[in-house]
């Protein structure tokens, strides 16, 4: 039984979205846009085909489909800056570029190693050490710690107009907007101003523009951004901050509330638990990530142990920009004395579409805080102790975290209980994996009575007198 639903937004005033695109009636029209839904020819939304492309991949993530450049072989897609009919697809002196990007890497600020190269997000021309050719590029450094916007006009000078720190995690989408003019340059991340710089004073000439522009790599297809791109728009005017924010809100549901973007929600992970065996077998238990705040000043009990809800919820922003997180403080009300109630969290509303994270167990009439939640949306659900099968997992945990039927089979095809996987922090579909590299697969660890997360070493490789192995 699952009870106590809560939807929590950061305490901010959301502005109405009145921005429309080429098929709308708004005053603001892009030069062109790329939704990357045509994964055969990679045409733009205005119907212009690439000059060339090779080794491109697509993914059913983002807003329907996305362009993927993440290979160890050359891969690129090249579009005209100016078409043969005179249509301009990209301006590099005055204009804006806006797009969504999800890295296939985590930056060093998030415990990762970055893309391993200075990955190009969008680029005209090509970098040269002596700056003699011409180059215009928005790119990320090799460790995934900073974004840069740099121009080499071709006169032996190099100017980096913008630098902004980032702390991105794998497969998490970000909305990037770059605006530029002779007056100033501005970079927005996820709809919020990240940094600004001086205006562009010089830029590559027409001979460089004739080589087109590249999305996700350099002209050789070697220096790749290593990630996914979607919904790229170009403009011949610098977008103002309000428009950028409205664009972010316009796309927000497709990227943050789309069940297809499961990987993007992986920043909410389950808390460590302390299994309990008395008076009943309870695999997932303990305070987890819940931080106790105080006993509630006024509270009421429920009509029974299974009548429970959340009250007094307060969301607080911590930090700013792409590094911002959310703290959520709330009170558990209803229920009965000495009954532990599970708290689950997710960035996507729904049961059976996204796995939820177990945050810990709390008791009624108590106020708790959860920290480091996503900075945009978070959903909390309370679960009761009901365990229909008696295998050690509550019905709520099975429905939300494992996404299995509490009234159905409690084991996988290898006859290993789901509760055993949960107890050892394993996915219930990992029977054929060996996380501790000791030669025993997970289902064999279960049969042998060993810990799948701790190597058994060579001591397990003992044969019986008749030569048969003692390992199941």
Q: Give the pLDDT confidence score for residue 429 in this predicted structure.
A: 77
Q: Give the pLDDT confidence score for residue 276 in this predicted structure.
A: 62
Q: Give the pLDDT confidence score for residue 281 in this predicted structure.
A: 63
457: confidence class by pLDDT, cuts 50, 70, 90:
low
Least confident residue range of 134-148, 277-291, 390-404: 277-291
User: In whole angstroms, what separates CA 38 from the centre of its chain?
Assistant: 24
Tokens of 47: 């119907």
In tens, the pLDDT along 35-85 reads 999 999 999 999 999 999 999 999 877 787 899 999 989 999 999 999 999
- The residue that leads in pLDDT, 190 or 205, is 205
375: which residues sit within 8 A by CB, 6+ positions away? Answer: 10, 317, 319, 324, 325, 326
Region 178-201: mean pLDDT is: 95
- Say which residue the tokens 């100033």 belong to: 184
Q: Where in the chain is the domain with CATH 2.60.120.200?
A: 29-238
Q: Give the pLDDT confidence score for residue 297 in this predicted structure.
A: 79
Mean pLDDT of the chain: 84
In tens, the pLDDT along 268-308 reads 677 777 766 555 567 888 999 999 999 987 888 888 888 89
User: In whole angstroms, what separates CA 71 from the centre of its chain?
Assistant: 20
Region 418-440: mean pLDDT is: 82
> Is CATH 2.60.120.200 what the domain over 29-238 is classified as, yes or no?
yes
Q: Which of 39-43, 260-264, 385-389 has the highest mean pLDDT?
A: 39-43
What is the spatial distance between Cα 463 and Cα 50, in angstroms, rounded to a whole number? Answer: 63
Using the predicted structure, report yes or no on whether residue 471 has a pLDDT greater than 80.
Answer: no
Residue 390: CB atoms within 10 Å: 10
């Amino acid at each position: 039984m699952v009870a106590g639903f809560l939807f929590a937004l950061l305490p901010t005033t959301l502005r109405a979205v009145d921005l429309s695109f080429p098929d709308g009636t708004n005053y603001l029209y892009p030069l062109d846009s790329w939704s990357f839904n045509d994964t055969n020819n990679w045409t733009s939304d205005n119907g212009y085909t690439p000059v060339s492309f090779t080794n491109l991949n697509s993914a059913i993530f983002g807003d329907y489909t996305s362009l993927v450049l993440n290979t160890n072989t050359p891969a690129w897609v090249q579009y005209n800056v100016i078409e043969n009919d005179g249509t301009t697809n990209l301006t590099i002196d005055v204009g804006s570029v806006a797009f969504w990007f999800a890295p296939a890497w985590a930056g060093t600020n998030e415990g990762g190693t970055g893309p391993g190269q200075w990955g190009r997000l969008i680029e005209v021309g090509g970098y040269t050490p002596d700056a003699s050719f011409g180059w215009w590029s928005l790119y990320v450094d090799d460790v995934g710690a900073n974004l840069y916007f740099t121009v080499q006009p071709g006169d032996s000078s190099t100017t980096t107009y913008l630098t902004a720190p980032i702390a991105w995690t794998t497969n998490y989408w970000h909305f990037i907007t770059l605006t530029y003019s002779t007056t100033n340059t501005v970079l927005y991340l996820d709809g919020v101003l990240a940094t600004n710089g001086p205006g562009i004073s010089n830029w590559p000439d027409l001979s460089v523009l004739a080589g087109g522009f590249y999305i996700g790599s350099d002209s050789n297809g070697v220096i790749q951004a290593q990630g996914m791109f979607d919904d790229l728009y170009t403009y011949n005017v610098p977008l103002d901050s309000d428009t950028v924010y409205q664009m972010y809100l316009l796309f927000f549901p497709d990227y943050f509330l789309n069940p297809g973007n499961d990987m993007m929600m992986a920043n909410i992970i389950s808390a460590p638990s302390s299994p309990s065996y008395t008076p009943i077998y309870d695999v997932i238990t303990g305070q987890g990530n819940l931080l106790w705040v105080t006993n509630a000043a006024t509270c009421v009990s429920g009509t029974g142990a299974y009548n429970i809800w959340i009250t007094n919820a307060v969301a607080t922003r911590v930090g700013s920009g792409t590094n911002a997180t959310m703290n959520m403080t709330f009170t558990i009300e209803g229920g009965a004395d000495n009954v532990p109630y599970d708290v689950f969290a997710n960035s996507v509303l729904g049961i059976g579409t996204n796995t939820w994270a177990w945050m810990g167990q709390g008791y009624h009439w108590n106020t708790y805080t959860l920290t480091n939640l996503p900075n945009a949306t978070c959903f909390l659900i309370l679960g009761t102790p009901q365990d229909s099968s008696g295998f050690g997992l509550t019905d709520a945990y099975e429905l939300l975290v494992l996404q299995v039927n509490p009234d159905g089979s409690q084991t996988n095809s290898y006859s290993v209980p789901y509760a055993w996987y949960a107890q050892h922090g394993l996915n219930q579909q990992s029977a054929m994996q060996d996380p501790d590299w000791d030669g025993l697969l997970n289902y064999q660890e279960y049969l042998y009575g060993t810990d799948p997360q701790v190597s058994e070493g060579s001591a397990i490789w003992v044969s019986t007198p008749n030569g048969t192995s003692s390992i199941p």
